[in-house]
Amino acid sequence: MSNRWRHSLVRVALAIGLGLGGCSTPMVEQAADAPYHHLADGRFRNPPGSPPRDASSGDFMRFFWGRMGDRGPVEVPEGHVAEADAVAQSFAAAGNPSVTWLGHAAFLIRIGGKTVLTDPFLGEIAGPGGFGPRRFVPPALAVDALPPIDVMVVSHNHYDHLDAWTIDRLPGKDRITVVVPLRLGDFFRRRGYIDVVELDWEQSHRIDGVEVTALPAVHFSRRSFADTNRTLWASFAIAAADARIWFSGDTAYGEVFREIGPRFGPFDLALVGIGAYEPRVIMKASHATPEEAVQMARDIGAKRALGMHWGTIKLTSEDPFEAPDRFRKAAESAGYAPDDAWILQIGESRSVPAAGG
């Protein structure tokens, strides 16, 4: 291997590391007169009872080098991505309330007469400066093919959730309400968005009949080596008269979800991340397994669960198409009926049964 190629691989590995493993947080006091997750140095931390970040530097190096050796094409199963005509037909038939999977954690959610866009990674590469993992399937809709967006919800600043390429090109910057965790707003204001709302955990913002509430998640934030945990991360409740939907963003499993259910649930549907979970020594503090994702859905009081954050981009060591089978089996074991554990095609839309149904 040439030195130039080796150097490029190292840069790719570093780009991957920006959005996956996290790092342990040095002991810092809690900020005075502030919630537990606010630290005195201005950074944030996960809720009490979250899994520790105790992976070693050797664990990370083995992971990076293993990923470098796993650079072959991904074989995509037939039917994983809906045909273009089917995407349009499914979207038209689903109506309101409904969800449309664009790939990874990007959804169109139609609720309360509004169209909500979540974590819109529609670009090619999840990483800085053209380095990082590439998507192996296209998004269901290109940026210029999206319907008019009323609300955009972004869970945190990692490259596979906050894609500058998409954010720059999205039309309607003068009319979209952007809802993000604390200190992430300037990213959007610098790109021309006018109505940007930053929320701390348990704060809400109402857009006509749709209320968006930021809720805890077990993760971290970073876009460079100098800004770890300087912006907050969150899950979100998106609620209207016709449905209540929970969007997990990126999260590991933690005790906090048993508190969210009684206080903010129940939910008609939970969009839960089920991919990017191996090796566990690293990912246990950032991403849930399919089984843990089902447990989260149960904890928050979700009547139905939809598995996301898989089948789009290979971020970690597991087979990228392993998660759905594990998710379905775990959902059945947890008492979900088959019709209440959803795995969608990329581009598929599905109606959400009316609130209380």
Mean pLDDT score of the chain:
92
Any domain includes 336:
yes
- The yes-or-no verdict on residue 293 having pLDDT over 70 is yes
Tokens 């040095």 locate to 26
The β-bridge partners of 235 are 215
Any domain includes 326:
yes
Q: Residue 150 sits in which domain range? A: 84-351
Any domain includes 291:
yes
CA distance 351 to 243: 10
- Name the domain count of the chain: 1
Question: What's the gap between Cα 337 and its chain centre?
Answer: 25
- Average pLDDT of the segment spanning 90-95: 95
- The yes-or-no verdict on residue 206 having pLDDT over 90 is yes
CA distance 284 to 54: 10
The per-residue pLDDT for range 32-72, each reduced to its tens digit, is 889 999 999 999 999 999 999 998 888 888 887 777 666 67
Element (H, E) at 178: strand 177-181
Any domain includes 8:
no
The whole-number pLDDT of residue 350 equals 98
Any domain includes 284:
yes
The per-residue pLDDT for range 331-340, each reduced to its tens digit, is 999 999 999 9
- The yes-or-no verdict on residue 314 having pLDDT over 80 is yes
Any domain includes 171:
yes
Residue 187 CB partners (closer than 8 Å, separation 6+): 157, 162, 167, 180
- The yes-or-no verdict on residue 284 having pLDDT over 70 is yes
The per-residue pLDDT for range 120-166, each reduced to its tens digit, is 999 999 988 888 889 999 999 999 999 999 999 999 999 999 999 99
The per-residue pLDDT for range 210-259, each reduced to its tens digit, is 999 999 999 999 998 889 999 999 999 999 999 999 999 999 999 999 99
The whole-number pLDDT of residue 11 equals 45
- The yes-or-no verdict on residue 5 having pLDDT over 50 is no
Any domain includes 22:
no
- The yes-or-no verdict on residue 25 having pLDDT over 60 is no
The per-residue pLDDT for range 168-181, each reduced to its tens digit, is 999 999 999 999 99
CA distance 156 to 288: 16
- Average pLDDT of the segment spanning 259-281: 96
As to burial, measured by CB atoms within 10 angstroms (0-12 exposed, 13-18 middle, 19+ buried), residue 243 is buried
Domain of 236, CATH number, reads: 3.60.15.10
The whole-number pLDDT of residue 242 equals 95
